[in-house]
Structure formats: C-alpha cells, structure tokens
Amino acid sequence: MAGFDEAALRRLEELVAKSKGGSKLPAPEALELKELKLLRQTAEIAKSRASIAVAKRKIEDREKYRVGGLAVAAGLSRWNDDELKGGFAMLAALADTARAELGAKGKQARAAEAAKTVLVPLRVSFGEAPDEAVLTALKKRGFKWNAAAKAWDGTGEPADIQSEAELGGGLVEPLPLAPRE
C-alpha cells in the first residue's frame, strides 16, 4: 500500500500490542499510533480507488470492443478515421425517431444473419469428464445431459459446437431427425 510499508506495519502492530498490554501509551507513541492507523486507512482507500479505476477501465474497454465489433461487422473497417468520426457524429445527432428506425433495421439485419445459421440437432460425448468451462459453454447453448446416451444433446451450428467440444476432447455427432407423424 502506497506510503504504508512493512516497517510502518510492524511499528503499528508493535504499538497496538503495547496499548492492549494494559498500560497507557505515552503521548508521543499514542499520537504515532493514531498517525499509523490513519496512514494505513489512507493506503487502503487508495488501493480501493485504484481497484475501482481498473474496473471502470475494463467496462469502458468492453464497450469499445463491442462498438468496434459492430463497426467491423457493418463493413466500416475500410473507412478512414475522419470518415468514421463524421459518421459517428451523424449517428449521435439523429433524432429519436430516426434512431428507432435504425434499431429496427439492425434487428432485421440480425434476424437475416441468424436465418443463415443452420441449427442442427447434435450430440456431444466425451471419453472423460470435461472441464467445468466446457460444460458451462454447452449448457449456455442449451445442451442437456442425456443420461441414457451418456452425452449432451442440443441444437447448434456444428462448427461452433465442435470448436467448444474439442477443448474437452469431445466428439460431436449429428442426431437423426425424429420422424414426423
């Protein structure tokens, strides 16, 4: 902690132990004890503020990556910096109704992209129990444990599921479609 080193900590512990020993501390040592406690609290506050600053920076970075990813997905990576700044300035100046229209177009584009994705019934099996991270990823994608087959069943894009299953040494197989009656 800034300004509060090991020597100060040892001295603080020494004075605290001495004060708990029953005898009253002399005035200079009592004052030193108060100063050391205050210095420790100040250092802890500084450490907490630094931790908060790091958390805020992570949130800001995540937001920048999100916006940047959307810009790349929209094909804006070929634009130069001035064009991007101008385009973003125009977007920021749009009225609420125009922004609502853009939001609707964005949802349509996302739906069209999702329609291109073919979800296939799949079964994922593992020779040995995979890491918890792999199981969590499968669960997030909606896969359920099939006790009879001793495997995970669900739907997904085979390439995506294969890449996750390979992390745990898994095998991905398509499930036959159930016959319609």
Give residues with Cβ within 8 angstroms of 115, minimum separation 6: none
Q: Tokens 């853009």 appear where?
A: 102
Per-residue pLDDT, averaged over 175-180, amounts to: 67
CA-nearest of 52, 57, 92 to 65 is 57
Give tens-digit pLDDT for 87-131: 888 888 887 788 888 888 888 888 877 777 778 899 999 988 888
Return the pLDDT at 115: 72
Give tens-digit pLDDT for 75-89: 888 999 999 999 888
Evaluate if pTM is beyond 0.85. Answer: no
Give tens-digit pLDDT for 13-69: 999 998 898 788 999 999 999 999 999 999 999 999 999 999 999 999 999 988 888
d(CA 136, CA 76): 34
d(CA 69, CA 75): 10
Return the pLDDT at 2: 55
